[in-house]
């Protein structure tokens, strides 16, 4: 009888011991019984006969994880402090029945680059990890495709990561135009049947390039020579659930482990990437981006000036985009008599007003209820909405602008990939005059005829209790402004009371990065490591007690600083009370040692957090 340590996929349990008469390789996916239920697991290693009775491995599959996948899963488990089973659940296995054949690639590799682009390409090829710091429209995508082409010609493959919402039909079309059937798209909107067909092609070696969201990093690709992380600054690369990994950072680790070049690309790179990796500055673009910035000191509102500018743009048969960081009609419902704010009964957040469905909705737990007519506290008819959202801006513009076709562009409306494709096509076909949307507007979409960009809500972003608030607000402005002026002169209306800050850096993002580095030196990343320890429980007293107990024990680790502890900024979500501890140290190993030394079953560990509110 053979005995094996194996890890249950998706389970928080430590590796368990099972038995089998068969000799099984230490990477194979098997089936086992756990508490009477059939589970998938991966063999970690063979082990000695234990002192206790063990169950049989009930099924042995032809699927397995590669050596590189096993190593990456172990690293993720150690760094992000999750179980091996939780780490392995991210990966898609290989198939022993489908050997990865080297298929001769036949595609159009006539990708012409400018002198500056060729200079950037040469720079990238000399570095293991590099940052392509390129303005919007400067031709980063052409450089990526040239890298892919060269890698495939050398018998290697490529992974192209993008923020999920920016998996645009334009990018898919450009990739397929050059690489035909040798490229596949991979993201959460693909159906199970379609995914199985794609996986069969990947496993058999018919695919040279996998392009997709962060999950594309874990597909069964062999001989990867290039990994590109486009829009590397985007927060969607960081998982908000366990394991709380960052796909950008995992791409870097994976590239170093398998000998692949890693290229991080952005017009507004994260400060960490700018500080850590050699960068090539790619300025300008294929078009003259001549933009005039107009600053309007105003609270978040669609003003007469904005309406007038949209009318002028429409008269010239051109298009506009309006950015607002908040969805729905309004962010809050407040009583002007007693000050009561209508909150979700399960989350300590104000509920958003959705007038079309006549409901208040919580954007955290999805609870919804009818919009009340009177204040539940003072019983007066004095309820007022606050913080403008996309739906209300749309309604206001439609009510005040005649013969202007305006549509909403956010997650409330663009719920599927098909809707994204259709809306972008209608906008580029000029069937839509104005798009009103959230961050989705900035995610890599190529708008041909936008000559007006309106940016609202920057001050709310700037005033967030987040050490990255300045970076996020300025990045949003640069990204949105970069969607205008592709062919003609454009105007960007910036609604803010902080004109001096934005005006100082809008045309020189690199200057901002250098100044911000000095601001963070010795206190924040990339100079320090942060870790957020989150406690959530339906019993608030229990969550608080566990948090206080761990905070006390952490004091014995002198290398780790407790920045603060107490209730989370949003104290309750989905009926669970939340408390947190924020830790800071010089090295991540110091934090990991401290957290493991104060192990607490209720504690959820978030290494390198990006969420503080």
Q: Where are the domains of the chain?
A: 2-95, 115-282, 291-327+389-520, 330-388, 529-607
Rounded Cα gap, residues 363 and 330, in angstroms: 12
Q: By percentage, how much of the chain surpasses pLDDT 90?
A: 64
Give the bridge partners for 535, in sequence order: 579, 603
More confident residue, 543 or 446: 543
Q: Integer distance in angstroms from the first to the last C-alpha of the chain?
A: 53
**2-95 and 291-327+389-520 agree in CATH topology:** no
Least confident of 144-153, 345-354, 481-490, 497-506: 345-354
Question: Given this model, what pLDDT does residue 100 score?
Answer: 63
* Alpha-carbon span 414 to 417, nearest angstrom: 8
Report pTM.
Answer: 0.88
Does residue 544 carry a pLDDT above 60?
yes
Lookup: tokens for 114: 């400018």
Contact 605, 80 (CB under 8 A): yes
Residue found under tokens 């290039």: 226
455-506 pLDDT, tens digit per residue, is 998 988 888 878 898 999 999 999 999 888 877 889 999 999 999 999 999 9
Task: Count CA atoms within 13 Å of residue 130 on its CB side.
Answer: 22
Query: Could you give the C-alpha distances from 210 to 181, 265, 445, 608, in angstroms and in order?
Result: 11, 17, 20, 27
Average pLDDT, the chain: 89
Distances (CA, A) of 102 to 105, 106, 208, 360: 9, 12, 10, 56
Q: What pLDDT does 168 receive? A: 66
Question: How would you classify the pairing of strands 16-20 and 2-8?
Answer: antiparallel
Contacts of 22 (CB under 8 A, 6+ apart): 2, 57, 60
Helix (H) or strand (E) holding 120: helix 115-125
Tokens of 246: 């960052």
Mean pLDDT of 267-286: 90
Confidence of residue 421 (pLDDT cuts 50, 70, 90): confident
Over range 397-413, report the average pLDDT. Answer: 90
The answer as to CATH 3.40.30.10 being correct for domain 291-327+389-520 is no
Please answer whether residues 158 and 208 qualify as being in contact, where contact means their C-beta atoms are separated by less than 8 angstroms: yes
- Amino acid 165: pLDDT: 60
468, 516 contact by CB (below 8 A): no
Element spanning 581, H or E:
strand 576-585
Give tens-digit pLDDT for 214-258: 999 999 999 999 999 999 999 999 998 889 999 999 999 999 999
> Which phi and psi angles does 302 have, rounded to 5°?
-85, 105
Residue 330 predicted with pLDDT over 70: no
pLDDT higher than 60, residue 166: no
**Greatest mean pLDDT among 362-366, 516-520, 571-575:** 516-520
Block residue for tokens 């920057």: 458
Q: Which residues contact 232 (CB under 8 A, 6 or more apart)?
A: 131, 248, 264, 265, 266, 269, 270, 273
Q: Which residue has the tokens 């001549």?
A: 290
Q: Where are the alpha helices (DSSP H) in 126-227?
A: 140-153, 169-179, 192-203
pLDDT in tens, 59-103: 999 999 999 999 999 999 999 999 999 999 999 999 998 876 666
d(C-alpha 560, C-alpha 585), whole Å: 5
Torsion sign over Cα 489, 490, 491, 494: negative
**pLDDT reading at 441 higher than 70:** yes
Average pLDDT over residues 163-191: 81
Which element (helix H / strand E) includes 461? helix 458-462
Tell me what pLDDT residue 386 has.
56
CATH 1.10.287 fits 2-95, yes or no: no
Q: How confident is the model at residue 177 (pLDDT cuts 50, 70, 90)?
A: confident
The CATH number for 115-282, chosen from 3.30.420.40, 3.40.50.620, 3.40.50.300, 1.10.10.10, is 3.40.50.300
pLDDT in tens, 577-599: 999 999 999 999 999 999 999 98
CATH class of 529-607: alpha beta
Sheet holding 576-585, edge to edge: 561-573, 576-585, 529-537, 603-607
Strands 319-323, 434-437: pairing kind: parallel
Beta strand ranges found along 218-290 (DSSP E): 224-230, 261-266, 279-282
pLDDT class of 289 with cuts at 50, 70, 90: low
- Position 333 pLDDT exceeds 80: no
Has residue 150 got a pLDDT over 60? yes
Q: How far apart are CA 251 and CA 261, in angstroms?
A: 10
Quote the pLDDT of residue 328.
57
Give the pLDDT band (50/70/90) at residue 376. Answer: confident
The answer to whether 98 touches 203, Cβ cutoff 8 Å, is: yes
Q: What was the pLDDT predicted at 261?
A: 97
Span 446-455, average pLDDT: 88
Query: What distance in Å separates the CA atoms of residue 265 and residue 231, rounded to the nearest whole number?
Result: 6
């Amino acid at each position: 009888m053979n005995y094996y340590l194996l890890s249950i996929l998706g389970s928080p349990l430590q590796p368990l011991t099972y038995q089998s008469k068969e000799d099984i390789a230490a990477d194979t996916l098997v089936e086992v019984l756990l508490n009477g239920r059939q589970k998938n697991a991966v063999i970690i290693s063979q082990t000695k006969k234990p002192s206790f009775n063990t169950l049989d491995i009930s099924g042995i599959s032809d699927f397995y994880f590669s050596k590189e996948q096993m190593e990456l899963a172990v690293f993720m488990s150690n760094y992000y402090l999750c179980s091996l089973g939780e780490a392995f659940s991210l990966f898609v296995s290989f198939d022993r029945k489908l050997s990865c054949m080297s298929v001769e690639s036949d595609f159009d590799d006539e990708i012409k680059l400018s002198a500056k682009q060729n200079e950037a390409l040469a720079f990238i090829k000399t570095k293991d990890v590099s940052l392509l710091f390129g303005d919007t429209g400067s031709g980063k995508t052409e450089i990526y495709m040239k890298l892919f082409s060269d890698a495939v010609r050398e018998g290697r493959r490529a992974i192209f990561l993008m923020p999920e919402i920016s998996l645009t039909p334009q990018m898919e079309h450009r990739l397929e135009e050059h690489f035909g059937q040798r490229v596949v798209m991979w993201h959460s909107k693909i159906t199970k049947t379609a995914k199985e067909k794609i996986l069969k092609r990947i496993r058999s070696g018919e695919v040279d390039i996998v392009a997709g969201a962060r999950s594309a990093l874990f597909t069964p690709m062999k001989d990867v020579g290039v990994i590109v992380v486009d829009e590397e600054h985007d927060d969607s690369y960081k998982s908000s659930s366990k394991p709380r990994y960052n796909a950008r950072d995992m791409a870097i680790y994976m590239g170093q482990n398998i000998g692949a070049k890693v290229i991080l690309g952005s017009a507004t790179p994260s400060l960490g990437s700018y500080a850590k990796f050699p960068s090539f500055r790619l300025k300008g673009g294929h078009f003259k981006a001549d933009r005039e910035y107009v600053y309007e000191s105003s609270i978040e509102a669609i003003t007469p000036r904005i309406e007038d500018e949209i009318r002028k743009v429409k008269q010239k048969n051109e298009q506009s985009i309006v950015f607002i960081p908040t969805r729905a009609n309004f962010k809050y419902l407040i009583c002007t008599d007693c000050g009561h704010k209508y909150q979700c009964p399960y989350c300590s957040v104000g509920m958003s007003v959705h007038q079309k469905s006549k409901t208040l909705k919580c954007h955290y737990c999805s609870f919804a209820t009818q919009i009340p007519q009177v204040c539940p506290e003072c019983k007066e008819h004095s309820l007022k909405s606050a913080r403008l959202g996309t739906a209300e801006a749309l309604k206001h513009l439609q009510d005040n602008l005649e013969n202007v076709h305006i549509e909403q562009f956010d997650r409330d409306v663009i719920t599927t990939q098909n809707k994204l494709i259709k809306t972008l096509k209608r906008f580029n076909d000029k069937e839509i005059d104005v798009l009103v949307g959230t961050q989705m507007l900035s995610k890599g979409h190529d708008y041909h005829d936008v000559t007006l960009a309106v940016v609202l809500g920057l001050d709310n972003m700037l005033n967030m209790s987040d050490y990255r608030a300045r970076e996020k607000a300025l990045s949003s402005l640069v990204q949105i402004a970069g969607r205008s002026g592709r062919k003609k002169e454009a105007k960007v209306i910036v609604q803010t009371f902080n004109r001096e800050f934005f005006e100082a850096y809008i045309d020189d993002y690199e200057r901002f990065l250098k100044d911000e580095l000095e601001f963070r030196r010795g206190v924040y990343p990339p100079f320090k490591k942060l870790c957020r320890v989150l406690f959530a429980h339906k019993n608030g007293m229990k969550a608080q007690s566990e948090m206080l107990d761990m905070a006390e024990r952490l004091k014995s680790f002198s290398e780790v600083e407790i920045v603060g502890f107490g209730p989370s900024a949003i104290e309750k979500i989905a009926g669970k009370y939340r408390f947190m501890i924020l830790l800071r140290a010089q090295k991540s190993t110091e934090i990991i040692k401290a957290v493991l030394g104060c192990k607490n079953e209720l504690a959820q560990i978030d290494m390198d957090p990006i969420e503080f509110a």
